[in-house]
């Protein structure tokens, strides 16, 4: 959390707490790349930006050359692989921690190679580290397995408008974390790109990216899930204000589903002018949480699981 302050109601009443959450890492990284591709100079980052955001920002502002260490930042590795394949003007080595070198990236690499990219593995086949050399990429029609990571699809979508005739993507399996692909599509559309999606096909036309001046990352729903947890469990009493959060259906974040899911555990979500407010209502809590398919929002599982266990609610 970037800041915390409390205001107290009159004696005998519960306190009102106001929290400022960090910005969504997923939105932030996509916006950095979109602004860079539009030719816009990137503003300096604050010191508390997430690692993924810092890695991408540093790569984009330092000339995209030489060794780029993404550490454990999986989003940075996938997105920078596509970005470097498209825009690098000198060789780039993308590497990270030992754990990062065990995370697969083969489907993305093969898709980029089919578009003319020059990439090679510096270790095990299908895994980082990766060498990227300048190459002329072309438009094309590609097929990619979307069942391993939505980041492969988003990485390709982000560079698609810059290809000579755009890109036609066919998803060959059921998507995981599909809302993150939808987030990328919505941001591209907001930046003026002609994009059409029909079931398992996404077609992106070439175009000039024009991010609106007021377009910025909204507050992070993944972080908000832990505040919901504490409110439901009684660790925070009274009303909690969370500014900057956008409720469904307007939110681009899959984890905005927290409002509905924690509603089963007694947390009332109240829209405000600046975001939302939370408060606990015992009478709203279900005796049995029931079931929920978390395929699209797995980051909510820890907070929900702990909350159900602490409250003795079957799930």
- Which tens digit of pLDDT belongs to each residue from 50-95? 889 999 999 999 888 899 999 999 999 999 999 999 999 999 999 9
- The answer to whether 250 is a known catalytic residue is no
Looking up tokens 């990062």 gives 100
In this predicted structure, the answer to whether residue 7 has a pLDDT above a threshold of 70 is: no
Looking up tokens 């405000």 gives 272
For strands 92-95 and 66-69, give the pairing. parallel
- Which tens digit of pLDDT belongs to each residue from 152-176? 999 999 999 999 999 999 998 888 8
- In this structure, the chain runs to a length of 315
Two tokens, residue 1: 């959390």
Task: List, by residue range, all CATH 3.65.10.10 domains of the chain.
Answer: 3-22+220-311, 25-204
CB 165 within 8 A of CB 206: yes
- Which tens digit of pLDDT belongs to each residue from 11-29? 444 568 899 899 999 999 9
- Could you say which of 3.40.50.300, 3.65.10.10, 3.30.70.1070, 3.40.50.720 is the CATH number of the domain covering 25-204? 3.65.10.10
Q: What is the mean pLDDT of the chain?
A: 91
pLDDT for position 4: 43
Distance between CA 146 and CA 154 in Å, rounded? 10
- Which tens digit of pLDDT belongs to each residue from 236-245? 888 999 999 9
Two tokens, residue 163: 């290809």
* Closest residue by Cα to residue 57 from 40, 5, 262, 156: 40
CB 42 within 8 A of CB 36: yes
Q: Which of 145, 220, 255, 299 is catalytic?
A: 299
Q: Which CATH superfamily is domain 3-22+220-311 in?
A: Enolpyruvate transferase domain (3.65.10.10)
Two tokens, residue 53: 């955001």
- 59: buried, middle or exposed (CB in 10 Å: 19+, 13-18, 0-12)? buried
């Amino acid at each position: 959390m970037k800041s915390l302050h409390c205001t107290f109601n009159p004696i005998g009443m519960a306190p009102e707490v106001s929290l400022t959450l960090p910005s969504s890492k997923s939105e932030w990284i996509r916006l950095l790349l979109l602004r860079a591709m539009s030719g816009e100079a990137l503003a300096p980052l604050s010191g508390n930006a997430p690692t993924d955001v810092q890695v991408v920002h540093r790569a984009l502002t330092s000339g995209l050359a030489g060794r780029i260490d993404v550490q454990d930042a999986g989003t940075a590795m996938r997105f920078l692989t596509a970005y470097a394949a498209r825009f690098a003007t000198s060789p780039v080595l993308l590497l990270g921690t030992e754990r990062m070198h065990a995370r697969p990236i083969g489907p993305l690499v093969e898709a980029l190679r089919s578009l003319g990219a020059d990439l090679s593995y510096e270790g095990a086949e299908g895994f980082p580290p990766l060498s990227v050399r300048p190459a002329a990429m072309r438009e094309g029609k590609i097929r990619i397995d979307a069942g391993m990571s939505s980041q492969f699809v988003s990485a390709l979508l982000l560079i698609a408008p810059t290809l000579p005739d755009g890109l036609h993507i066919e998803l060959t399996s059921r998507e995981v974390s599909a809302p993150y692909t939808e987030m990328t599509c919505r941001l591209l559309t907001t930046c003026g790109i002609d994009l059409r999606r029909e079931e398992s096909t996404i077609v992106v036309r070439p175009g000039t990216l024009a991010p609106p001046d007021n377009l910025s990352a909204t507050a992070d729903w993944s972080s908000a899930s832990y505040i919901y947890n504490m409110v439901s469990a009684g660790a925070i009493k009274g009303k909690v204000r969370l500014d900057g959060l956008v409720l469904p259906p307007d939110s681009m974040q899959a984890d905005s589903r927290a409002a509905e899911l924690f509603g089963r555990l007694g947390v009332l979500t109240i829209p405000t002018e600046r975001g939302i407010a939370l408060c606990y209502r015992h009478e709203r809590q279900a005796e049995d949480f029931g079931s929920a398919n978390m395929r699209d929002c797995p980051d909510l599982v820890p907070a929900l699981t702990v909350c159900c266990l602490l409250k003795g609610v079957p799930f």
